[in-house]
Amino acid sequence: MKKEKKINPSKELPLGFVDRQEKELLVRDFIISNIKEVMIKYGFQYLETPSFEYSDSIGKFLPDKDRPDEGVFSFRDDNKWLSLRYDLTAPLARYVAKNFLEIPKPFKRYQLGTVWRNEKPGPGRFREFLQFDADYVGTKSLQADAELCVMISEILEKCGLTKSEYIVKISSRKITEELFKKININDSQQKLTALRALDKIDRLGWNGVKELLGSGRKDKSGDFTKGANLKPKDIETIEEALKKKSPETEDLLEILKIFKDYNFNNFEFDPSIIRGLEYYTGAIFEVNLKFDVTNDKGQVIQFGSIGGGGRYDNLVNNFGNYDAPATGISIGLDRLVYALMQKTEFKIKQSKPIVICVFDKNSMKDYIAIQTIIRKAGISVEIYPSESKLKKQMEYANKINSPAVILYGENEIKSSKPTLRNLRSGKEQSIEIKELVNEIKKII
């Protein structure tokens, strides 16, 4: 009989999906707890919406296509297309439209949730990631826009970033709109290409952007990108306009005034920031890190922004007749985690369990008794799960970074004096049970 070749299931993960380990999750939890604290202080309410939405509810319409636009993960269910949400703003708009009459106006909500994007992953950038999003719905007041920037800044500083390590950049859609009107670009494709080119100034610099506004640009690998084919004179006009150090549009002037009242100054006017192309209508903001981020080979990489947002006055309106101007901001949490973990001074302390070694299964009652005492004191502790050689148990304790082991063998039990071994110093001491908790506290 011939042996069938066994084909094992793949251990690999789908492109852009990753396992996340404790080290990373603890940093993430730390950020989340800071976010929640700040959200409460600023009076936002907590909301959760489902991972899936009908594709058309989150802006994915399907004209003659057998699947929704690339960029989202979708599947067909009973002739309706469902998509995994790609952000938290679109579901919010849907939620507001659905519950418009019941919710307070303005509606201030924040949300933490996984989102999915069917795009090429990069460093600190995955196809599944956690996003934080805070929005003001139902107000035109620019106080809201300004406060979002102040608030995001407070969150970042709570997470340990200093003012010199990040900056909030602001601009307004109105600037580029006026600019395009001035130089008379009507072709919408051309407008789009130009807008996208402008968005890249931080990465490519002015020369790169100029090439993209003109005939096109060849990148480092030799790949060529077509440009917007603007006239040199128009490119000059744009360059001139974007050099301006202070804003002239009314919305930004107002926001700047409010920043002043808040005594907030870690921002920068930057007319070249664009953010998404679809729904923003007014002020836009972007949060950038100012320190170098490296990959695991130590190379400095293009990291981009860790979050941003802006005013979107028409999004809720798309669903029907309710008029709900809105503004919001989001952070990609995993990107922030990735960046924070690079700061060498950034370490989150975690308490690993004390390990009680097992000499004899029949003494389990005694092990459990001291385990209970220690746990009651709120200290992490566990009994080694089997009766292995002491060496193995010690190796285990060492491996999990346990601060200490408790040796409670025949003689110790007889005298009710367990031995506590400090795994960092290697010192051992014999201790009365009632003193055990106190001694452990000295070690951890």
Q: Which residues of 91-119 are buried (b: 16+ CB within 10 A; e: fewer)?
A: bbbbbbbeebeebeebbbbbbbbebbbbe
d(CA 93, CA 107): 11
Instruction: Provide the minimum distance between the beta carbon of 439 and RNA in the complex, in angstroms, as a whole number.
Output: 15
Answer yes or no: are the C-beta atoms of 173 and 284 closer than 8 Å: yes
Instruction: Provide the minimum distance between the beta carbon of 234 and RNA in the complex, in angstroms, as a whole number.
Output: 18
Instruction: Provide the minimum distance between the beta carbon of 210 and RNA in the complex, in angstroms, as a whole number.
Output: 12
C-alpha of 438 from chain center: 40
Instruction: Provide the minimum distance between the beta carbon of 170 and RNA in the complex, in angstroms, as a whole number.
Output: 17
Per-residue tokens: 43: 């009076």
Q: Which is nearer to RNA, 133 or 258 (CB)?
A: 133
Instruction: Provide the minimum distance between the beta carbon of 279 and RNA in the complex, in angstroms, as a whole number.
Output: 5
Torsion of the alpha carbons at 196, 197, 203 and 206, rounded to the nearest 10: -150
DSSP one-letter string for 316-345:
GGGGSS----EEEEEEEHHHHHHHHTTSTT
Q: Which is nearer to RNA, 154 or 382 (CB)?
A: 382
Q: Which is nearer to RNA, 89 or 249 (CB)?
A: 89
Q: Which is nearer to RNA, 246 or 299 (CB)?
A: 299
Instruction: Provide the minimum distance between the beta carbon of 360 and RNA in the complex, in angstroms, as a whole number.
Output: 9
Q: Which is nearer to RNA, 23 or 163 (CB)?
A: 23
Q: Across the strands, what pairs with 430?
A: 419
Phi/psi region, residue 150 (left: phi>0; alpha: psi -120 to 50; beta: rest), is alpha
d(CA 72, CA 283): 26
Three-point CA angle 68, 70, 71, nearest 5° = 115
Q: Which is nearer to RNA, 183 or 390 (CB)?
A: 390
d(CA 71, CA 86): 8
Instruction: Provide the minimum distance between the beta carbon of 411 and RNA in the complex, in angstroms, as a whole number.
Output: 4
Instruction: Provide the minimum distance between the beta carbon of 405 and RNA in the complex, in angstroms, as a whole number.
Output: 7
Q: Which is nearer to RNA, 258 or 436 (CB)?
A: 436
Binding site for RNA (CB under 7 A): 7-8, 12, 15-16, 59-60, 69, 71-72, 86-87, 90, 117-123, 193, 196, 200, 203-204, 212, 217, 219-223, 225, 275-279, 295, 297, 299, 301-302, 359, 389-392, 394-395, 397-399, 407, 409-412, 419, 421-426, 428
H or E element, residue 93: helix 89-98
Q: Which is nearer to RNA, 19 or 278 (CB)?
A: 278
